[in-house]
Amino acid sequence: MEYKPITAVWEITMACNMKCMHCGSACVNALPNELTTDEALNLCDGLGKLEMKWITLSGGEPLTRKDWPQLAKGLVKNGIIPNIITNGWLLEEDTVLEMRKSNVGTVAISIDGLKETHDKIRRKGSYDRSMNAFKLLKKHGQYCGAITSINKSNLTQLDKLKDILIGLGVDSWQLQICIPMGNMVNHKDELLDPKDVDGILDFCLEVAREQKITVYPADCLGYYTEREEQIRYLSLGNSAAGAWNGCNAGKRGFGILHNGDILGCTSIRDRSFIEGNIKERSIVDIWNDEKSFQWTRGMKRSDLGGDCLDCKYADVCLGGCPNTRLTMNGKMESENPYCSYRVAMGDLKSRLHKFEDLEVLSKRAHDYATNGKYQEAAIIIDYLLQKKPDNEELLALQGFVHFFMGNYSKAKEANEIILKSKPKHAYANKGLGLTLHKMGETEKGIKLIRKAIEFASDDFLDPYYDLAAVYNEIGQPEKAREVLSEIEK
């Protein structure tokens, strides 16, 4: 697969005039190994060769770096739209005019609650400075956004903050959650509970429906709920509608650190994830190196853990935000505690013991499976099999739903249990055959599906169609037609 970068976040300096409670970089002063202006402009040329669309200049506080206008213009010269994330403290009228002159796309100001809360998190007086910054941006026609990092202190202030931002004419609003990194490691009591994410998504959907400000849940929020899809559709339009298609890191985007280090995402502070430095190799070479970003480009379902490992969305989602997993669990090979879909499935598990009639529960599992709600069906089946471990019908259904979720090892296990006691079970032979085909053992799989045809009753034609499908998948359409012709005999 060829990876095409679209966007990147560039931390142009680690200098900052604040010391925010949740700062992931724990920024204070500029570091001596920052890229020089010439080095940074050379990087702009390299980014142009990659045909990037957007670059976000951040920090630290990017406006503390005096040559930021040169960098913005260097990006524009290379056909790239520069965006800026700032805390707003240094944003005066002449700054806004320079932004307009430099063709900056979006200026996003961090705003973390109402006045008292925001100032406590960031710096006394910063709220009023941010409000003034928004007014200046709108005065001069500069597209502007707000970014809010949500914690327990500001969670209940979102509604009032929304009204303030709309009143100021702010164009867009990104909501993200705080995670335990940088300064936030010392404030873990402020971290949200996983169930809080649902409320945030409800709020985002309400805001999106109002159409007064464009709302963007960050990649650390949501995953595979109808609400998230609706928010994306309402905020971004048809081009972004549908299910979340996974983390951009190392695939469609990357991060650039102050010293020219390149990594998949600037949120990741672990140096073991650095792919190279632009002082030593060009950004084009680093990006195109087949060895680069293997932690993300080569990540697969089996690299996950917990509930993420068995999730029906695992092959695409790959556990949601990697840095959330890394900071929450100490490793990426784990589950994402802030996944809204995972929370919903956990709620389903917790309710199962309330059902006294297991037949009703079994029927619900069948209904879920029939309607494509495989994850829900799998949860119920796993519960029922604890009470009826040898139930043939449940095992067959378990094999079916795990197959369609891509959990081939579990589908294989379920069918093998049936075949131990009933080796001529047509459905289990077919199911195991299809599963082995998906696992790369096509020859064995075909033999088992042939057995299913041999053992099947006259009205059970699924094995014929499935075998024909396998032959088509492996590029043997003639054999597929031969199999289907057997039905007519």
Condensed to tens digits (0 to 9), the pLDDT of residues 271-280 reads: 899 999 999 9
Kindly indicate the confidence band of residue 243, based on its pLDDT and cuts at 50, 70 and 90.
Answer: low
Residue 1 pLDDT: 57
Condensed to tens digits (0 to 9), the pLDDT of residues 27-39 reads: 677 888 999 999 9
Residue 353 pLDDT: 84
Nearest CA among 87, 112, 86, 110 for reference residue 187? 112
Q: Give the mean model confidence (pLDDT) for residues 100-115.
A: 97
Distance CA 125, CA 328 (A): 32
Nearest CA among 174, 99, 173 for reference residue 142? 99
Distance CA 150, CA 218 (A): 11
Whether residue 54 contacts residue 105, with contact meaning beta carbons closer than 8 Å, is answered with yes
How many of the other CB atoms lie within 10 Å of CB of 184? Answer: 21
pLDDT above 70: residue 242: no
How many of the other CB atoms lie within 10 Å of CB of 225? Answer: 20
User: What pTM was estimated for this model as a whole?
Assistant: 0.87
Residue 231, both tokens: 């928010």
Distance CA 227, CA 249 (A): 24
Q: What DSSP designation does 215 have?
A: E
* CA geometry: angle 101, 105, 108, nearest 5 deg: 110
Condensed to tens digits (0 to 9), the pLDDT of residues 354-389 reads: 888 889 999 999 999 999 999 999 999 999 999 999
Kindly indicate the confidence band of residue 436, based on its pLDDT and cuts at 50, 70 and 90.
Answer: very high
480 vs 232: which has the higher pLDDT: 480
Secondary structure (DSSP) of 348-372: HHHHGGG---HHHHHHHHHHHHHTT
Condensed to tens digits (0 to 9), the pLDDT of residues 291-348 reads: 999 999 999 988 998 888 888 888 888 999 999 999 999 998 999 999 988 888 888 8
Secondary structure (DSSP) of 377-402: HHHHHHHHHHH-TT-HHHHHHHHHHH
Distance CA 462, CA 430 (A): 8
Question: Strand pairing partners for 176?
Answer: 149
Nearest CA among 402, 472, 457, 406 for reference residue 427? 457
pLDDT above 60: residue 464: yes
Condensed to tens digits (0 to 9), the pLDDT of residues 144-180 reads: 999 999 999 999 999 999 999 999 999 999 999 999 8
Q: Give the mean model confidence (pLDDT) for residues 72-100.
A: 97
Residue 2 pLDDT: 82
Distance CA 125, CA 408 (A): 57
pLDDT above 90: residue 23: no
Phi-psi region of 248 (alpha: psi -120 to 50; beta: other; left: phi over 0): alpha
Kindly indicate the confidence band of residue 120, based on its pLDDT and cuts at 50, 70 and 90.
Answer: very high
Q: Give the mean model confidence (pLDDT) for residues 226-247.
A: 72
Phi, psi (rounded to 5 degrees) for 141? 70, 25
How far are the Cα atoms of 308, 353, 393 from residue 411, in angstroms, in the given order? 17, 25, 14
Point out the least confidently predicted range of 35-44, 257-266, 450-459. 450-459
Point out the least confidently predicted range of 110-124, 196-210, 302-316, 396-410. 302-316
Residue 269 pLDDT: 85
Residue 234, both tokens: 């309402």
Q: What DSSP designation does 82 have?
A: E
Kindly indicate the confidence band of residue 183, based on its pLDDT and cuts at 50, 70 and 90.
Answer: confident
Contacts of 52 (CB under 8 A, 6+ apart): 5, 6, 7, 8, 78, 80
Nearest CA among 250, 239, 196, 241 for reference residue 221? 196
Q: Is 280 exposed, middle or buried (0-12, 13-18, 19+ CB in 10 A)?
A: exposed
Distance CA 169, CA 475 (A): 58
- Each residue of 61-74: b (16+ CB within 10 Å) or e? bbbbbeebbbbbbb
pLDDT above 60: residue 246: yes
Q: Give the mean model confidence (pLDDT) for residues 227-242.
A: 71
Residue 25 pLDDT: 63
Residue 26 pLDDT: 60
Nearest CA among 162, 165, 161 for reference residue 121? 161
Mapped onto helix, strand or coil, the DSSP state of residue 203 is: helix
